[in-house]
Structure 1
Amino acid sequence: MRQRYFALLCAFACAPAAAVSFQTRLEKAEWQVQGDQFECRLSQPVTDFGSGEFVRKAGEQAVFRLNAREHWLDRGSATLLAAAAPWQPGRGDINLGAVTVGNGDVPFSSTQQQAGRLLTGLLEGRSPLVRHRTLQGGDSLEVRLLPTNFSKAYNDYLGCTAKLLPVNYDQVKQATLGFPGGGAELDDTTRAKLDIILQLVKADPSINRFSLDGYSDNSGNRLSNRDLSRRRALAVEQYLKANGIGEEQITVRFYGEQYPLVPNTSAANREKNRRVTLHLSRETAPGKPTEPAAPAPTPPATAGTS
Structure 2
Amino acid sequence: MTNRLLSFSAALSVTALLALPANGMMRSYGASMQESSWSMTKNTPTACVLEHSIPRFGKVNFSSVANKNINLDFAMNMLQKPAKYTEVELRSMPPSWRANSPSAHIADLAYYKQFDGEVLDDQAWLMLNELEKGMNPTFFYRDWYNSNDSVAVGVSAVNFAPQHLAFMECVSKLLPYSFEDISFTTLNYKKNTQILDRRSQQKLKMIRDYLKYEPEMELVLVDSYTDSYGGREKNRQISKQRANDIKRMLEESGIAGDKILVTGHGEKRHIASNETVQGRNGNRRVVITMNRGY
Q: Report Cα offsets for 1:204-236 as digits up to 9, x if no partner.
A: 5544853123579xxx99xx9xx9999789656
Is residue 251 from structure 1 mapped to residue 258 from structure 2 by the alignment? no
Question: Which of the numbers 25, 31, 45 marks the counterpart of 1:18?
Answer: 25
2:54 corresponds in structure 1 to 46
Provide the rounded CA distance (Å) in 2 between the counterparts of 1:181 and 1:80.
Answer: 59
Is residue 193 from structure 1 mapped to residue 200 from structure 2 by the alignment? no
Give the residue type in structure 1 aligned to 2:71: Q
Is residue 177 from structure 1 mapped to residue 183 from structure 2 by the alignment? no
Is the alpha carbon distance of 1:160 and 1:181 closer, same or farther for their aligned partners in structure 2, counting shifts above 3 Å?
same
Normalising to structure 2: TM-score of the pair? 0.63
2:117 corresponds in structure 1 to 108
Q: CA RMSD in A?
A: 4.7
Query: Which sections of structure 2, spanning at least 5 residues, go unmatched?
Result: 1-20, 274-278
Give the residue type in structure 1 aligned to 2:35: K
Give the residue type in structure 2 aligned to 1:33: M
1:214, 1:254 within 8 Å by CA — same for their partners in 2? yes
Normalising to structure 1: TM-score of the pair? 0.61
- Show the 5 A alignment for 1:79-118: 79=88, 81-85=90-94, 87=98, 89=100, 91-103=102-114, 107-118=116-127
1:10 corresponds in structure 2 to none
Give the drift of 1:119.
1.0
- Show the 5 A alignment for 1:91-240: 91-103=102-114, 107-138=116-147, 139-161=149-171, 170-171=179-180, 174-177=183-186, 186-204=196-214, 206-207=216-217, 210-213=220-223, 238=245
Give the drift of 1:103.
1.4
Q: Report Cα offsets for 1:249-301 as digits up to 9, x if no partner.
A: 451254979697xxx9xxxxx9xx8775312257xxxxxxxx6xxxxxxxxxx
Is the alpha carbon distance of 1:17 and 1:178 closer, same or farther for their aligned partners in structure 2, counting shifts above 3 Å?
farther
Query: Which sections of structure 1, spanning at least 5 residues, go unmatched?
Result: 1-13, 265-269, 283-290, 292-306
Give the drift of 1:40.
3.2
Give the residue type in structure 2 aligned to 1:22: Y
Give the residue type in structure 1 aligned to 2:31: T
Give the aligned length.
256
Give the residue type in structure 1 aligned to 2:30: Q
Is the alpha carbon distance of 1:257 and 1:123 closer, same or farther for their aligned partners in structure 2, counting shifts above 3 Å?
farther
Q: Report Cα offsets for 1:74-96 as digits up to 9, x if no partner.
A: 33254352514162756441333
